[in-house]
């Protein structure tokens, strides 16, 4: 049990460091952590920069959470454990569109993505008889 807590603590520290770095630097990381992505000139306004940071944070968190999933020997549970961070990342990215986007068609699509993905996550958890962790789901953002 102590080694599990140590492992979780190390991963949380790593996530906190990632959040700290992303929040304080104009360079954000793409999914491939070996390369950095410079913010394009068109992203010089604060809103676009925050949108990019929010999306890169969602991707980084997804990668970290997926790497934390330990195989259980049950393919179905392992599938759900790996899909949950992926699905949450889609929700987080859709929320960034709702927060920063202006295109009403894309905002409606983002709302649909959130609703459908939350439904899929619930179905996956139900299929393996898991209950959702507390405070995982956030209320969907409505119009501006």
Helix axes 75-100, 104-127, angle to 10 degrees: 160
Q: What are phi and psi of 115, to 5 degrees?
A: -65, -45
Q: For the segment 73-124, what is each residue's pLDDT rounded down to a tens digit? A: 999 999 999 999 999 999 999 999 999 999 999 999 999 999 999 999 999 9
CA–CA distance, 134 with 34 (Å, rounded to integer): 34
Query: Above 50 in pLDDT, residue 38?
Result: yes
Q: For the segment 61-74, what is each residue's pLDDT rounded down to a tens digit? A: 999 999 999 999 99
Answer whether 0.75 is exceeded by the pTM: no
- Residue 140's pLDDT band (cuts 50, 70, 90): very low
For residue 85, what is the enclosing H or E element? helix 75-100
The whole-number pLDDT of residue 60 equals 96
CA–CA distance, 115 with 119 (Å, rounded to integer): 6
The whole-number pLDDT of residue 32 equals 47
- % of the chain with per-residue pLDDT over 90: 56
Contact 125, 109 (CB under 8 A): no
Q: Which among 15, 16, 123 is positioned nearest to 62, based on CA atoms?
A: 15
């Amino acid at each position: 049990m102590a080694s599990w807590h140590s492992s979780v603590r190390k991963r949380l520290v790593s996530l906190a460091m990632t959040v700290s770095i992303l929040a304080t630097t104009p360079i954000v990381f793409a999914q491939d952590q070996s390369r950095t992505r410079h913010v394009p000139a068109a992203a010089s306004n604060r809103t676009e920069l925050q949108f990019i940071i929010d999306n890169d944070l969602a991707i980084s968190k997804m990668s970290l959470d997926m790497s934390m999933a330990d195989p259980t020997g049950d393919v179905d549970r392992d599938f759900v454990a790996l899909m949950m961070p992926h699905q949450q990342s889609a929700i987080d990215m859709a929320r960034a569109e709702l927060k920063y986007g202006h295109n009403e068609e894309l905002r409606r699509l983002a709302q649909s993505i959130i609703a459908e993905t939350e439904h899929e996550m619930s179905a996956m958890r139900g299929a393996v008889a898991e209950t959702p962790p507390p405070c995982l789901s956030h209320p969907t953002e409505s119009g501006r």
